[in-house]
Amino acid sequence: MTSSPAPSGGRRYGVAVLALSVGGFTIGTTEFVTMGLLPRIADGIDVSEPTAGHVISAYALGVVVGVPILSFFAARLPRRGLLVALMAAYGVFNLVSAAAASYGLLFAARFFDGLPHGAYFGTASLVAASLAPPERRGRAIASVMLGLSVANVVGVPAATWVGQHFGWRAAYVLAAGLALLTVVLVLAFVPSVAGDRGTNGRREAREFFARGQVWLTMAAGAIGFGGLFAVYSYIATTVTEVGGLSEGTVPLFLLALGLGMTFGTWVGGELADWSVLRSLIWSSVASAVTMVVFWAVAPYGWWLMPVVFLVTAIGSVTVTNLQLRLMDVAGNAVTLGAAMNHAALNLANAIGAWLGGIVIAAGYGHRAPALVGAALSAAGLVILLWSAGTDRGTRATRSSNEAHHLDPADVRP
């Protein structure tokens, strides 16, 4: 990939990476604020809460569709211009969401708003790596992703508070404002970086999607991680109607979710040094158990908060190691592997929100999505064990073949 040289001076480099991370903060705030305001959104567009939950799935499906399409067609475009275009589109569809007067329009707006999500993170990570000195490239990419974690600690609770006090539409207007801020910062502080003229998206896609371990890993993420979103999507009503707490406590529970996500991301990195695959297996077991605990504790108000923390902490361990696992099994298509992780996890978002809404609409109450989450985590565990078994068998066969291969030079008369 050709690119401009890294900006001279640590301060200029740091400001450029900060500008990119603001985009991650914007996306994280927008993606998750819908969960905290779902009852108000349902009232505002005159539908039931389970039906309103489908707009969460719409955003997630937008991410799933956008990642491969934009990654395939936009790889050769200048990076800074692409980032500006992606974030400008993000801002526009947040404004459309704020203005939506019907369920259908809001559903469409959330779908289109999800399209730039994965492409922005993929492009911003590449730009951050190209701007950083070689010894800081890993930190630069981590800094971009840190915006997403900070959003769940600060942005989502703050935007939820804004939506509670000024109407749910105000939260999307705030998100559009953050997108505009990102555009300004990227134009001001991120230098021009050329696209990859030598990329061959078709060849990379063929190699990536031909691998069985790729499909198993993505399936484990899309199904197993869906348990978190089955719970997260309906957290506001669970806290107020099941837990008996006031609406004003919802931002505090969202803060606990964000802190759990940040802590779990750190723990996931540490566990990855031990074993990526074993970390995924054990986090899936822990997730299933925690979902059952969530179901049991939900009626007890504040006692639910530490369980909420654990739900996203364990889920974030899964996210970190799924990213690494997918890159490990992607062969030479590592870039597509990193991008498709966002697609798999947002498919989990869609599946979890949809199934959670189904059991609520069927009359099983707002505790029921936690049991759906436990079942999804268990299903993800089965897929991971399948992946581990087939991977071990493949490695054993390869080792056996290598052991029995005789070089002609080793043959003696």
Q: How confident is the model at residue 41 (pLDDT cuts 50, 70, 90)?
A: very high
pLDDT in tens, 50-73: 888 889 888 988 888 887 777 666
May I ask the CATH class of domain 1-196? mainly alpha
Q: Percent helix, strand, coil in the chain (nearest 5)?
A: 85, 0, 15
Percent with pLDDT over 70 in the chain: 83
For the chain, the domains span 1-196, 200-394
Read off the tokens for 293: 């605990």
Helix H segments across 37-102?
Answer: 38-44, 49-52, 54-73, 79-99
Is there a common fold for 1-196 and 200-394? yes
Q: How confident is the model at residue 295 (pLDDT cuts 50, 70, 90)?
A: very high
- Residue type, position 269, single letter: G
Question: Is the pLDDT at 408 greater than 70, yes or no?
Answer: no
* Averaged pLDDT score across all residues of the chain: 81
**Alpha carbon distances (Å) from 231 to 15, 111, 132, 238, 261:** 37, 21, 38, 9, 14
Percent with pLDDT over 90 in the chain: 26
For residue 226, which of 95, 380, 336 has the smallest C-alpha distance?
380
Q: In the prediction, which pLDDT does 405 show?
A: 46
Q: In the prediction, which pLDDT does 127 show?
A: 82
Model confidence, pTM: 0.72
Helix H segments across 132-249?
Answer: 137-150, 156-166, 168-189, 201-209, 212-219, 226-232, 235-237
- Our separate counts of H helices and E strands in the chain read 19, 0
CATH topology of domain 200-394: Growth Hormone; Chain: A; (1.20.1250)
